[in-house]
Amino acid sequence: MKQNAPHMHSLHAHPHPTHTPIGKRVALALLAAGVLGGCAITEPVVRPELALPDQWSEAASGTAAKLPDTWWQGFGSPQLDALVAEALLAAPDLLIQAERVVQAELALRQAGASLLPSLSLAGGSGVQSAEGDESGSTSVNLNARYEVDLWGRLAASRDASRANLAATRFDHDAARLSMAANVATLWFQSLALEERVDIARQNLTIAERVLRVVQARYDNGAASALELSQQRSTVLNQRKAIEPLEVSLRQTRSALATLLGRNPQAGFIAGERLAGLQVPAVGAGLPSELLRRRPDIAASEAGLAAAAANLAAARGALLPSISLSAGAATSSAELLSLVGRNSVLSLSASLLQTIFDGGRLAADVDIQRSRQRELVETHRRTVLAALKEVEDALADSARDANQEAAQREILAEAQRSLRLAELRYREGADSLLTVLDAQRTLFSAQDQLAQLRLARLTDAVNLYKALGGGWQAPSDG
């Protein structure tokens, strides 16, 4: 029978003499333990009530096909593929998380060992001297002890350890997903910064070319000293804009190297360009599918199972426990010898019930109940946050795709405006201010396009991550 609420009984041991052989008494104790063993306390896994939406509010791009677990390959970046493979193999954060899985496995083994009998062996020899006479003795003791898990307390502790192990494994899966996403994000940021440095240098070249034109016009009396000073200021500002970008590029690369477990000063192979990468279409599927697609949600679910098991174990600790013991001892009056030994065999059963502990055990039950309520709300928050992450990633992807398309048109017009402004300035049809405005517009358009390209790539990474990156919960079977 299952017991869903603890009942306290007053149990007393009566030391009345009996002539029942010890073997029969132990057999009766084992029989009683077997009958009462069906009264194990259990606790249901409590889950929050959540009403999941039927569809995403934001229009999902792509199909609802299953995501690939090597989703980063969809960007068409061989260097990214190599970096992610390196990170999944040797990144310190993942190695740390892997050791936590090992620790959880050992904790489960430790909890399972408490359900088995314990066996100990002790031996000793000694010499006694009195008034010149010496005597020696040797003894060997073998003891076995087994706690009968009447109320399922030990089994519940094992179940909690098993659930904690599952949660730790899911956390490791979530860490792998986050690691791949972080590597991809940092790699794209480094490519974007590299491109922005190139753009800044190209604009510096343009500014210096215009300065030469202004200088020639000034030397011929066709331009004023003010125009010459304005263009020199533009050149100086363009030079100043390069250094912060170069510093950010070095810092981003050092952050990526540290994430991979490399020396921060390690370099990376150059060659890839931001414009050469693909922005994959990601199918979001249905909100109801998200619960089985994210390892962090699975870890939270396992935490609920651990909380129920911990509560059952705390309730079982309120009830009496029965321990069975067996011992065998042999001793001899001869030092280091068991010749002429005396042997003793003992069997016993003991009952232990806590009478007064100041409310410690009862408080532990209340703590576990509170912990269970806390984890229920934590699970609710995890699911709601996951839904929001997908919605935000879908919205960002749609917005930035439209922004990039518009920015490409803006860039084309800015390039045309600068060409016309330079031509008209050489012919004396326009002032230098027109050229300066065209330069600033072109630089801004190029820089914004690089940032929008980075945003689109990052949006795809965030959407892959929000959808679980191809991860699937293991089947119940």
Domains of the chain: 54-114+151-319+387-466 (1.20.1600.10)
pLDDT band at 363 (very low <50, low <70, confident <90, very high): very high
pLDDT band at 308 (very low <50, low <70, confident <90, very high): very high
pLDDT at 269 over 80: no
pLDDT at 8 over 50: no
Q: Which two tokens stand for residue 100?
A: 């936590």
pLDDT at 300 over 50: yes
Q: How far does CA 155 lie from the centroid of its chain?
A: 28
The secondary element (H helix, E strand) that includes residue 328 is strand 321-332
pLDDT band at 2 (very low <50, low <70, confident <90, very high): very low
pLDDT band at 51 (very low <50, low <70, confident <90, very high): confident
Region 106-124 average pLDDT: 85
- Across the chain, mean pLDDT equals 84
Burial of 98 per CB tally in 10 Å (0-12, 13-18, 19+): middle
Q: Which amino acid is present at 148? A: V
* pLDDT, tens digit, 9 for 90 and up, residues 206-249: 889 888 988 988 898 888 899 899 889 989 999 999 999 999 99
Region 91-98 average pLDDT: 92
- In this predicted structure, what is the pLDDT of residue 275? 82
- In this predicted structure, what is the pLDDT of residue 133? 67
- Max distance between CA atoms of the chain, in angstroms, equals 131
CA–CA separation, 238 and 197 (whole Å)? 11
Burial of 166 per CB tally in 10 Å (0-12, 13-18, 19+): buried
439 to 140, 206, 415, 416, 446: CA distances (angstroms): 95, 8, 9, 11, 11
- In this predicted structure, what is the pLDDT of residue 361? 87
pLDDT at 427 over 90: no
- In this predicted structure, what is the pLDDT of residue 209? 87
Q: Is 357 or 295 the better-scoring residue by pLDDT?
A: 295
- In this predicted structure, what is the pLDDT of residue 434? 87
For a pLDDT cut of 70, what percent of the chain falls above it? 86
pLDDT band at 266 (very low <50, low <70, confident <90, very high): confident
- In this predicted structure, what is the pLDDT of residue 69? 87
pLDDT at 55 over 70: yes
164 to 45, 112, 309, 364, 466: CA distances (angstroms): 14, 14, 10, 19, 24
415 to 90, 194, 195, 207, 442: CA distances (angstroms): 46, 21, 17, 14, 6
- In this predicted structure, what is the pLDDT of residue 281? 87
Helices 92-113 and 153-219, interaxial angle, to 10°?
180
Spatial contact of 248 and 193, defined as CB atoms under 8 Å apart: yes
* pLDDT, tens digit, 9 for 90 and up, residues 124-182: 777 776 666 676 678 888 888 888 878 888 888 898 999 999 999 999 999 999 999 99
- Non-local CB neighbours of 87 within 8 Å, separated by 6+ positions: 94, 179, 180, 183, 259, 260, 261
pLDDT band at 357 (very low <50, low <70, confident <90, very high): confident
pLDDT at 295 over 70: yes
pLDDT band at 333 (very low <50, low <70, confident <90, very high): low
pLDDT at 32 over 60: no
pLDDT at 338 over 50: yes
- In this predicted structure, what is the pLDDT of residue 62? 47
Q: In b/e form, how buried is each residue of 111-148, taking b as 16+ CB within 10 angstroms?
A: beeeeeeeeeeeeeeeeeeeeeeeeebbbbeeeeebbb
pLDDT at 52 over 80: yes
pLDDT band at 350 (very low <50, low <70, confident <90, very high): confident
Q: Is 31 or 405 the better-scoring residue by pLDDT?
A: 405
Region 270-290 average pLDDT: 85
What's this model's pTM, rounded to 2 decimal places? 0.81
Q: Is 213 or 16 the better-scoring residue by pLDDT?
A: 213
Beta strands 342-352 and 133-148 are unpaired
Q: Is 383 or 429 the better-scoring residue by pLDDT?
A: 383
pLDDT band at 321 (very low <50, low <70, confident <90, very high): confident
pLDDT at 413 over 50: yes
Region 171-198 average pLDDT: 94
CA–CA separation, 397 and 457 (whole Å)? 9
